[in-house]
Structure 1
Amino acid sequence: MVFSQISKIKTGAIKLESGLGVIFLAGFIFLATVMMVKIGLIAGFFLLGLPFVIGLLSFLWTDPKAGIWLSLIMGFLISGLSRYVVAPWGLTIDIFLFLSLLFTLINSSVKIDWKKAKNDITLFSLVWMAYLVFEIFNPHGNGLVAWFYAMRGIGFYQVLSVPMIYLFLREEKDFYTFLNILIILSLAGTAWGFKQQIFGVDAAEYRWLWDENHHEEHILHGVLRVFSFYSDAGQFGASQAMMALLTGILAVSPLPLLKRIFFGIAALIFFLGFAISGTRGALAVPLFGGIAYLITTKNFKVLGAGVSAMILVFVILKYTFLFQGVEQVRRMRTALDPNNRSLEVRLENQITFGKYLADKPFGGGVGTAGFWGARFNPDSLMANTATDSWFVKIWAETGFVGLLIHISFLGYVMGKGGAVCMGLKSPKQKSYAMAIYASIVGVIFSSYGNQVFGQMPTGMIMNLAIPFLFLIPHWPSKNK
């Protein structure tokens, strides 16, 4: 009975076999060809892409949470894609998140309990976004357009994604989907990085390095700092260090043996990816993330052994010349040199910002520093003074008030997250919670040296990882 009913349903392929379907398809291709000849390739390709767009919209309409996964995936890919095809790839994240929220609101067939989004993390995200909206009226800003582009990575993605995690992705299987996407795309990033390391960069990457003036920060003493398909070597290194920490913790956790072996191999691969990036600031990820993990174990023997290992690594890098023949080790060793010129320049820049912001408690305005500042007001002091640090960027653009709000949120996450980890009884839940928590803490502290927290893909990862951490205690009781 059921099969007979299914056989009567006309699928898209069956409909195309009809005479009317063939005529429609031929007419569509003919119209696309005419547009390509008369208007240009872009118009024709746009028309040919319409079926894909319609299919995607239909997919998101029936399953809005898919937009969150697509946003995470695009967070990994937008920088790499922009080197090959010039397009506003970053806006795809906005579009996917916005459509997910919009279709949730207007599609009556999507049943959700809005009360699940009422929590402290959502509230913090709303308060932070409200403050960023207030920054529109900052008299020192570069205008609404600059504000729009800059605020997306600072707070807009967070305020859209956090409540949707609580609404749609509360189940344990959703967390595993999140973890699998991170591991698969990060391994792809490692593989692409080794391709650059072994075979060199391709034509598009060469153009990005030399024609767009990124070679000074990525080619040091004739050695390439590998950047993979990430925005730069700093982001690649920090992301790989975070994944090495996360999978490394899971490898030593009380999980099934095959999983531990897989996570152990992945941790080694990610560590090698971190090493070839030559990123010094990313050392803070395993350092502070590792300390956070050791504290949450509440095992003083493990804590003592871990701290001793960290001290040993510090002594080797600081006071010896062991492994000095390895370029990546030499690069890391300079991070511990108090007379390092790079550190001196950063401190000088912070002094410059301090003088400029002395009478500006709300900062210079969102979109006035860094990339967007250089684009919209290239001659300004804000645009010509490197922020380097994520926290310096927040301070420069939103002032002491904004920095206080932002640090309060991150401090709350670290405090509550640590309490959640130590309060869990299930070994399985505790393992995943500590791995995610340590990764979050590592990224937060490494963001003092680089703009790790707000750059893609780490920014999108953090927007999802924080609510996922606080949902782990709500997994089914069978895991407790």
Structure 2
Amino acid sequence: MPLNKQPFSQWPAELSVPRLAVYGLLLAGIFAVGYATLRFGLAGAAVACLPMVACVTIVAVYRPGWAMLGLFTINYFIMALRHWVSFPIGLILDAAILFNFAVLLFRTLYGGVGWSRARNGLTLAALLWLIYCVLELTNPNAAAFGVAMTAIRSYALYFLLIVILTAVSFDRYKYLPALLGLWSVLTLLAVGKACIQKFIGFSPAEINWLFYEGGRTTHLLSTGVRYFSFFSDAANFGSSMGLSMVVLSIASLYYRNPWMRLYMVAVAAAACYGMLISGTRSALAVPFAGYALFIVMSRRVKIILTGAVLLLGVFLFLNYTTIGQGNAVIRRARSAFNLQDKSFVLRMENQAKLRTIMRDKPFGAGLGHGGGKALAYAPEAETSQIPTDSWFVMVWVETGIVGLLLHLAVLCYAVGRGVFLVMYRLRDSRVKGFTAALTAGIFGVAVASYANEIFGQIPNGAMMYVFMALIFLSPRFDRELAPTDQAPAAQIPGKA
């Protein structure tokens, strides 16, 4: 029976195989892969995976939104494999993106794919940024072609492709709370892994990374251990937990089910704990900036006053008191406000050196010439000996002041669009609240990215792009849920 042009959510009714049978096949496939791996090694596992891959493909064709949730999950765990595989782990994300596009292209043959949902301002902005990065290949200072293409992939290509996939695959509002629910589970797993590191110990692979690959210089400090879960490093983990804390705590206000509200608050609290034990001082910028923006978006006197008092209280506690100084977590967090901190002073000195080098390079020193990768791919470059220590500084070094301004304009456009929609356009309380949460989270990570190269790292980069796309989809979700004759609300309601 050919596929019709009904929404994705209605297509599974055409399946002739019961859902229970599909789930049973998936479960049997997982056990088969485990048995084959133990008995025959990786070769046996590869063969055993084929039936399960076929089953997943069939389900994905009928439910592209599920495939996109799968991509979100895979992206979250990619860095956990860095100690176990020898090939570039970024290829896993490439394969997941290509799989999702293949699913949508197959559906296009039969109709029913709403590519028009991807026709929005964010897609255009992502395309312009991609074009600029491609033009950077003509920069005579650019590193080898392969390195430059890798930089373009993480800088811009993922941005455009994931925005398109999200806009097309998430055709119904139900995918927004589903994504938040899935993310809450992933957050608990990440915090759980960090707790295992703290209270039980590191795995052999993690010990090898810490003691033989140089990880201990940044994670085993005299001030305490910085835990990193299954992320690439503690900064990546801490910032991601700060993001979870902001988004899920704000989103909890807009669930109708009181148990879901309580659950989301608990997950946000767990994420806060994960952020603190990561020892990442810059991660504190995520909740400070995120909650501050949410307070502004609320336009409610009670929320503004309460939020301002809480944020000011935390700031005064950390910056002007010594209470709890004996606790390593509080002591490390307090140092984030110390402008005389050695780490902060060194960063300022490095940026001063880079300003001298970049004075006559408005289009940058070339792709591949910024950050730690410059030591491996462009060791002769002036910038290779100077750490960037910041996502925005790295963008500036590689693409110049022109590229940095364009990149900032794209980010400001995405955040500004979210603020505008929340404050003046969205009517349904759930869509309004979830959009406000995502906007606040993106803003918090953007601010924290000034101190660390976290915006483009796995998994945070892809998550940012998904969230941006959801912000631009929010008017569609709003029309799906809100009565057409309801006047736009001027404020964020307290509850859904």
- Pick the TM interval, shorter chain: 0.7 to 0.9
| Aligned match of 1:328 | 329
Q: Does the Cα contact within 8 Å between 1:71 and 1:97 map onto a contact in 2?
A: yes
The CA deviation at 1:110 is 5.0
Q: Which residue of 2 aligns with 1:77?
A: 77
Opposite residue 323 of structure 1, the aligned amino acid is G
Q: Does 1:416 align with 2:456?
A: no
Query: Where do 1:110-259 residues align within 5 Å?
Result: 110-221=111-222, 223-253=224-254, 255-259=256-260
Q: Distance in 1 between matches of 2:191 and 2:376?
A: 31
**Structure-2 residue corresponding to 1:462:** 464
Question: 1:392 deviation in Å?
Answer: 0.4
Specify the alignment match of 2:429 in structure 1.
Answer: 427
Map Cα deviations across residues 326-369 of structure 1 (whole Å, 9 max, x no partner). 11111111111111111111111111221221111111222222
1:293-344 alpha-carbon deviations (Å, 9 max, x no partner) = 0011101232122112211211111111111121111111111111111111
In structure 2, the partner of 1:94 is 94
Report the equivalent of 1:384. 385
Q: Which residue of 2 is the match for residue 474 of structure 1?
A: 476
Secondary structure, counterpart of 1:172 in structure 2 = coil
Q: Report the alpha carbon displacement of residue 122 of structure 1 after superposing the two structures with TM.
A: 0.4
CA distance in 1, matches of 2:249, 2:165: 29
Is the 8 Å Cα contact of residues 390 and 450 (structure 1) preserved in structure 2?
yes
Q: Report the AA paired with residue 277 of structure 2.
A: I
Q: Distance in 1 between matches of 2:433 and 2:187?
A: 20
Q: Say if 1:389 and 1:448, in contact at 8 Å, map to a contact too.
A: yes
C-alpha displacement of 1:116: 2.1
* Paired position in structure 1 for 2:310: 309
Counterpart-to-counterpart distance in 2, 1:44 and 1:308: 60
CA distance in 1, matches of 2:303, 2:62: 48
The one-letter code matched in structure 2 to 1:233 is A
Change over 3 Å in CA distance of 1:409–1:222 after alignment to 2:
closer
Q: CA deviation at 1:164?
A: 1.9
Judge conservation of contact 1:233–1:278 (CA < 8 Å) in 2: yes
* CA–CA distance in structure 2, aligned partners of residues 263 and 45 of structure 1: 37
CA 1:89/1:56 → structure 2, altered by over 3 Å: closer, same or farther? farther
Counterpart for residue 25 of structure 1: none
Structure 2 counterpart of 1:442, which letter?
Answer: G
Measure, in 1, the Cα distance between the counterparts of 2:43 and 2:312: 61
- Matched residue SS, 1:452: coil
> Residues 251, 169 of structure 1: CA spacing in aligned structure 2 closer, same or farther, 3 A cutoff?
closer
CA contact under 8 A between 1:150 and 1:372: conserved in structure 2? no
Pairwise CA distance, 1:42: 6.5
Give, in whole Å, the separation in 2 of the partners of 1:386 and 1:67: 38
Q: Which moved more, 1:466-475 or 1:318-327?
A: 466-475
What SS does structure 2 have at the residue aligned with 1:290? Answer: helix
Tell me the residue number matched to 2:10: none
| 1:370 counterpart SS class | coil
Q: Which amino acid aligns with 2:415?
A: M
* Structure-1 residue corresponding to 2:447: 445
Q: Distance in 1 between matches of 2:292 and 2:449?
A: 16
8 A Cα contact 2:374 2:384, kept in partner: yes
Task: Give the 3 Å change call, closer, same or farther, for CA 478–337 of structure 1 in structure 2.
Answer: closer
Comparing 122-131 with 81-90, which one deviates more in the overlay?
A: 81-90
Identity %: 30
Q: Number of paired residues? A: 447
For 1:121, what is the secondary structure of its paired residue? helix
Change (3 A) 1:253 1:330: same
Distance 2:71 2:385 in 1: 31
Q: Conserved in 1, the CA contact under 8 Å of 2:117 and 2:167?
A: yes
- Confirm or deny: 8 A CA contact 1:71 1:92 kept in the other structure: no
Distance 1:387-1:413 versus aligned 2 partners, 3 A rule: same
Contact 2:65 2:175 in 1 (8 A): no
Shift of 1:416: 1.5
Q: 1:319 maps to which residue?
A: 320
SS across alignment from 2:75: helix
Alignment-derived partner of residue 398 in structure 1: 399
2:235–2:283 contact (8 Å) kept in structure 1: yes
Compared CA separation, residues 366 and 65, structure 1 to 2 (3 A): farther
Q: Deviations over 1:234-281 (max 9, x none)?
A: 111111111111122133446332121111111111111111111100
The answer (yes or no) to whether the contact 2:180–2:248 under 8 Å persists in 1 is no
TM-score (norm 2): 0.84
Kept after mapping to 2: 8 A contact 1:98/1:160: no
Query: Paired residue for 1:362?
Result: 363
The TM-score with structure 1 as length reference comes to 0.87
Q: Which runs of 5+ in 2 are unaligned?
A: 1-15, 23-35, 484-496
CA distance in 1, matches of 2:212, 2:51: 36
Alpha-carbon spacing, 1:273–1:42, altered in 2? closer, same or farther (3 Å): closer
Aligned in 2, Cα 1:168/1:443: closer, same or farther, shift over 3 Å?
same
Matched to 1:464, the amino acid is V
Tell me which amino acid in the other structure corresponds to 1:101: F
1:209-256 Cα offsets, whole Å, 9 max, x none, are 111101111111162101000111011111111111112213344633
**Partner of 1:347 in structure 2?**
348
CA displacement at 1:405 relative to structure 2: 0.7
Deviation at 1:172, TM superposition (A): 0.8
RMSD, aligned α-carbons: 2.4
Comparing 66-75 and 194-203, the one that deviates more: 66-75
How far, CA to CA, are the matches of 2:430 and 2:65 in structure 1? 26
Partner in structure 2 of residue 22 of structure 1: none
Q: 1:254 to 1:90 in 2, by over 3 A?
A: closer
Q: What is the alpha-carbon distance in structure 1 between the residues aligned to residue 453 and residue 363 of structure 2?
A: 20
Cα deviation digits, residues 409-465 of structure 1 (max 9, x gap) = 111112211111112232222221211111111111111111121111111111100
> Does the C-alpha gap of structure 1 residues 44 and 372 become closer, same or farther in structure 2, counting only changes over 3 Å?
farther
CA distance in 2, matches of 1:110, 1:301: 49
Q: Which amino acid aligns with 2:296?
A: I
Provide the rounded CA distance (Å) in 1 between the counterparts of 2:346 and 2:322.
26
Q: Structure 1's 372 and 59: CA in aligned 2 closer, same or farther, altered over 3 A?
A: farther
2: CA distance, partners of 1:206 / 1:190: 19
Could you tell which deviates more after superposition, 47-56 or 106-115? Answer: 47-56
Give the distance between the partners of 2:66 and 2:377, measured in 1 at CA. Answer: 34
CA pair 185-452 structure 1, distance change in 2 beyond 3 A: same
Tell me the residue number matched to 2:489: none
Q: Which amino acid aligns with 1:355?
A: T
